[in-house]
């Protein structure tokens, strides 16, 4: 699929993001570079990495190997919990840029709020200042609740462009999506398939896949697009990489979207990833 057929979203800072990206965890080493380079070759233009994935070197290497101009690919990385203090956050971003071999990041996120440490407001102020310096084009957060969002917005006057949250059919996050819409924040979805809980065999998904002549994975990713969520699927398989990008030439009915959303469960989270208690150091 040609990259010019991927729609884009405009963010609240005027920058844009492609409507689907490529998750890079846990791709690492030579195999990781190969998988990420292949993702760029098949047309992904948004890569998602993090300090804690230990693969920023590989992402930078894949970008160079692809031969694509820097401004045609968007790179997201994330600030780990142990770097939330202001000076450490600044140093951390410089270190990420060094590992990636880049002069700027397209998007940098606070990986988790780590409320028990209670330094995410400082971390946010560092990202606000680094954006002003031009080292990061767009700034955002990940795994923030409404209370965490409100606190950093009140403290800085700057609304994150993106909140990257766990979101898949078992955990559709209706309430957070409403919060994001109200605040003008783009919802990005991690574990968009639902990993080991991916509902690839559920009738709501297989029925739509049969009707449309697409794969069950494509149906799940198309559901994200139609609910306004930006998915970042990871795949090390070249065929699934291509399919996961090819989700803009067909449409689910409203009933199909609702049936997939109805797969949501109260305890639908994949692991103990509750933003109020999870500590990502
Ligand atoms: N912000 C955060 O806290 C956070 C947390 C977790 C993840 N993330 C980010 O989100 C990205 C994606 O999340 P994830 O890797 O946890 O979950 P995911 O993308 O939902 O699922 C990945 C798994 O699904 C398989 N898969 C991919 N496409 C498929 C398809 N079309 N049909 C069937 N199976 C398919 C992959 O296997 P194959 O590789 O064999 O295809 C892999 O095992 C990560 O890579 C990372 O960048 C962020």
- Please tell me the predicted confidence (pLDDT) of residue 280: 83
According to DSSP H, which parts of the chain are helical? 29-42, 56-66, 86-100, 120-133, 146-156, 174-183, 203-212, 216-226, 238-245, 254-261
Mean pLDDT value across residues 69-83: 98
Report field, pTM of the whole predicted structure over 0.95: yes
Q: Which atom of ligand 1 is nearest to the CA of 164?
A: 1
Average pLDDT over residues 87-97: 98
What residues flank ligand 1, with Cβ below 6 Å?
23-25, 48, 111, 142-143, 164, 190-195, 200, 215, 217, 232-237, 240, 243-244
pLDDT for residue 4 is more than 70: no
CA angle 157, 186, 79 (to 5 degrees): 70
> What pLDDT score does 267 carry?
85
Nearest CA to ligand 1 atom 30: 217
Local confidence band at 145 (pLDDT 50, 70, 90 cut-offs):
very high
Over residues 21-27, the mean pLDDT reads: 98
Q: Is the pLDDT of residue 128 over 90?
A: yes
Predicted confidence at residue 5, as pLDDT, reads 83
pLDDT at 263: 97
Q: Is pLDDT of 76 > 60?
A: yes
21 CA to middle of ligand 1, Å? Answer: 11
| For the chain, percent of residues with pLDDT exceeding 70 | 98
Please state at what angle helix 203-212 crosses helix 254-261, rounded to 10 degrees.
150
The average confidence (pLDDT) of the chain is 96
Q: What average pLDDT does the segment 156-162 reach?
A: 99
């Amino acid at each position: 699929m040609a990259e010019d057929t991927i729609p884009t979203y405009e963010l609240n800072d005027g920058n844009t993001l492609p409507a689907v990206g490529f998750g890079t965890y846990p791709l690492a080493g030579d195999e990781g570079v190969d998988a990420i380079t292949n993702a760029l070759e098949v047309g992904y233009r948004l890569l998602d990495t993090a300090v804690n994935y230990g693969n920023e070197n590989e992402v930078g290497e894949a970008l160079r190997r692809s031969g694509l101009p820097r401004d045609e690919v968007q790179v997201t990385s994330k600030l780990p919990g142990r770097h939330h203090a202001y000076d450490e956050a600044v140093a951390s971003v410089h270190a990420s840029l060094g590992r990636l071999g880049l002069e700027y990041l397209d998007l940098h996120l606070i990986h988790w709020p780590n409320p028990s440490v209670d330094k995410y407001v400082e971390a946010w102020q560092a990202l606000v200042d680094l954006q002003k310096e031009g080292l990061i084009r767009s700034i955002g957060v990940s795994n923030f609740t409404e209370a965490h969002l409100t606190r950093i917005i009140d403290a800085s006057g700057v609304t994150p462009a993106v909140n990257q949250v766990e979101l898949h059919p078992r955990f559709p996050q209706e309430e957070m999506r409403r919060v994001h819409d109200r605040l003008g924040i783009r919802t990005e979805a991690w574990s968009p398939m639902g990993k080991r809980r991916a509902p690839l065999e559920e009738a709501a998904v297989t029925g739509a896949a049969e009707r449309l002549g697409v794969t069950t994975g494509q149906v799940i990713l198309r559901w994200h697009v139609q609910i306004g969520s930006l998915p970042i699927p990871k795949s090390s398989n070249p065929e699934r990489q291509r399919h996961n990008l090819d989700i803009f030439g067909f449409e689910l009915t409203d009933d199909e979207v609702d049936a997939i959303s109805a797969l949501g469960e109260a305890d639908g989270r994949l692991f103990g990833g509750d933003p109020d208690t999870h500590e990502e150091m």
